[in-house]
Amino acid sequence: MAEKDEKKLLKNTIEEERLQLCNMVRRLGSKLSGLMFTSGILVFGFSLFLLLVPPEAELSIRLSTIFTGALSFVGGLNLLCGLLLLLGEED
């Protein structure tokens, strides 16, 4: 195979992989944004519950642990969505 043909094949392969990646990011992005919105609403509701209801001594430790876990989950989703946005950027 000539060097010119190899470069053309390599360029074509890279372009196909880029298009596949962009399509995958678009599909995952819509699903992750829905999950992010839903989990954000749940964390917001849970934080309002913690602010409005007077905490009990025994229950407050468990609730703060659950709340910290929920915030960590939302933070992880935020990082994942940001990385997917960077992957989906086109030149």
Q: Tell me, what's the pLDDT at 32?
A: 80
What confidence tens digit (pLDDT) does each residue in 6-17 have? 677 667 777 787
**Contact status, residue 39 vs residue 74, Cβ threshold 8 Å:** yes
pTM reported for the whole predicted model: 0.60
For the chain, list residues with pLDDT below 70. Answer: 1-2, 5-6, 9-10, 57, 89-91
Hey, where are the domains in the chain? Answer: 12-88
User: What pLDDT, on the 0 to 100 scale, is given for residue 1?
Assistant: 57
Measuring CA to CA, how many Å separate 57 from each of 4, 29, 61, 62?
74, 41, 7, 10
Please tell me the predicted confidence (pLDDT) of residue 29: 76
The pLDDT of residue 10 is 65
Q: Is 84 left (phi over 0), alpha (psi -120 to 50) or beta?
A: alpha
